[in-house]
Amino acid sequence: MRECFEVRDTDVGGRIGELTVPRADVTVETPALLPVINPNLDTIAPRRLATEFGAEILITNSYIIHGTDDVREQALEDGLHDLLDFPGAIMTDSGSFQLSEYGEIDVTTEEILEFQHAIGSDIATPVDIPTPPDVSRERAEDELATTQERLELADEIDTGEMLVSAPVQGSTYPDLREAAGRHADGTDLDVFPVGAVVPLMNDYRYDDMIDAVAAAKRGLGADAPVHLFGAGHPMMFALAAAMGCDLFDSAAYALYARDDRYLTVRGTRHLEDLDYLPCSCPVCTAHSPADLRALPDDEREEALAAHNLHVTFEEIRRIKQAIRAGNLLELVEQRARAHPTMLDGYRTLLDHAAQLERADPVSKGAFFYTSHESARRPEVLRHHQHLDRLSVPDSLFLTEGSSARGDEFDDSWRVKPPFGPFPRALSKSYPLTAEAPDRTDRAALEAAADGVTRLVESNPETEVTLGHKGWPAGVLETLPEEVALVDLTADRT
């Protein structure tokens, strides 16, 4: 078990964890949001982040501090916590972002780690190479090799109680991301940012972002705290949390406020386009859109930043509550409808159902079938996998109906879309207690048919009859030929 991180609760790939930050003498509960503080300019004072918004941790940039004479001197003299006046944990970035933006920076990993230590950072970052998406494989490999050298170097430096992060790169090559994760996991470093995903998020490539995170997670151990570096829009937090991201940072709250942009979990709105404020945070209950527009620039920026932070922290709390209650995927279902690219992200998440299944709890409160996508949830996959292990009589009636037909068959099992067949004794077990709409859909029926197929294929000796309620021909055709069919709706007419 990694010493600084303990997982307390899980749902899908999401988890509630405790990140112990010894240098700050603080335990941060994850999923956590790290507001980004520009050391030269704070829209919302760090003290207020802690007291008004409950921020337990923030992130600032040691490279900017290092490069700004008066700030550097003050940071070295008084320490970062006094400089920023923040009582929680402080993570620092290293200049990697500036490296990716401007092509070069004037510090080495050793220098910047030493500087981060000197100013009292609680979680430091080496200078990794944030390789952008879609570069040549050769470049991705070369830059990853450099990143890995720097992580090894960082691993060797004595940083005392300060935690050090180990960014996971690899561009859009899943095998490189996985290898990078495995390498980082092999160091004694502490926190694992999935790096260089900002360009993906800027282009709404949530599918590729999920693939990158999924690959990094395969390399990292389950006990590694994962930071989705640069992910600041609350719309995608639930999706990323479900894939196993524990830390998010938001510069968006302040940057967007500067441009009169208003964050919502359904996307970003421009203040001038709002006739109503779809929020009940303290800012939005005290103002109308016209009130906000009429404020002087600096007050408007601060008000919007405060709103943006409120919805962001609110979503973090919502995600934690969903993990606790075991309905994180139900939340993702809703967030996936915020934008077609979010649906792409969710559909991609479900491509990784087998990977997610391994961490997903065996039992939860309820399974709500709320879209065609629900048919691909890890619980459905798990049920299909378990079908192989069930013992089956010589003749079996699988039925959506209630009549058992005991005179004709050795046994009768229930069939419930999207799961498929199961012995009646399991009816009250999760996830077979699922609630589903009366108006079912083809995806649920296809998944149920897959379950029937799986059962038949692992029990070739058993004679199987399926009693279904009007399944379409296209679904029935996917079943093995030897399955006898009874249409129960035809029976009743």
With binding defined as CB under 8 A, does residue 386 bind a copy of itself? no
Question: Is 9 an annotated catalytic residue?
Answer: no
Is the CB of residue 62 less than 8 Å from the CB of residue 116?
yes
Binding map of a copy of itself across residues 187-226, x = CB under 8 A, - = no contact: --------------------x-------------------
Both tokens of residue 270? 């421009």
Using CB under 8 A as the binding rule, whether residue 402 contacts a copy of itself is answered as no
Determine if 155 is a binding residue for a copy of itself (CB under 8 A).
no
How many chain residues bind a copy of itself (CB under 8 A)? 58
Q: Pick between residue 301 and residue 344 the one whose CB is nearest to a copy of itself.
A: 344
> Could you say which of 7, 324, 462, 488 contacts a copy of itself (CB under 8 A)?
324
Whether 485 and 466 have beta carbons less than 8 Å apart is answered as yes
Tokens linked to 360: 């997903």
The verdict on whether residue 4 carries a ligand-binding annotation is no
The alpha carbon of residue 14 and the mean position of all alpha carbons in its chain are separated, in whole angstroms, by: 6
Q: How far apart are CA 443 and CA 427, in angstroms?
A: 21
Q: What is the DSSP letter of 373?
A: G
Among 83, 140, 239, 338, binds a copy of itself (CB under 8 A): 338
Is 278 among the residues that bind a copy of itself (CB under 8 A)? yes
Q: Name the minimum Å distance from CB 457 to a copy of itself.
A: 22
- Name residues contacting a copy of itself, limited to 443-482 (CB under 8 A): 443, 474
The three-class DSSP label of residue 16 is: strand
Contact 250, 34 (CB under 8 A): yes
Does an H or E element contain 291, and which? helix 289-294
Which span sits near a copy of itself by CB under 8 A: 123-131, 160-168, 313-321, 386-394?
313-321
Question: Helix, strand, coil: what percent of the chain each, to 5?
Answer: 45, 20, 35
Considering the rule CB under 8 A, would residue 359 count as an interface residue with a copy of itself?
A: no
Q: Is 313 in the site for a copy of itself (CB under 8 A)?
A: yes
Which one from 93, 190, 208, 249 is the annotated catalytic residue? 93
User: What is the rounded distance in angstroms from the CA atom of residue 314 to the CA atom of residue 464?
Assistant: 51
State residue 334 phi and psi, 5-degree precision.
Answer: -75, -45
Shortest distance, CB of residue 263 to a copy of itself, whole angstroms? 12
Structure tokens at 375: 């048919």
Please report the DSSP string for 114-163 in residue order.
HHHHHHT-SEE------PPTT--HHHHHHHHHHHHHHHHHHHHS--TT-E
> Hey, how many other C-beta atoms are within 10 angstroms of the C-beta on 102?
9
Shortest Cβ 211–a copy of itself spacing (Å): 12
66 within 8 A of 94, measured Cβ to Cβ:
no
Does 281 carry a binding-site annotation?
yes
Residue among 368 and 430 whose Cβ is closer to a copy of itself: 368
Annotated binding site: 128, 196, 279, 281, 284
Catalytic residues: 93
| Residues in contact with a copy of itself by the rule CB under 8 A | 52, 207, 266, 269, 273-282, 284-285, 310-311, 313-314, 317-318, 320-322, 324-325, 330-331, 333-344, 347-348, 368-373, 435-439, 441-443, 474
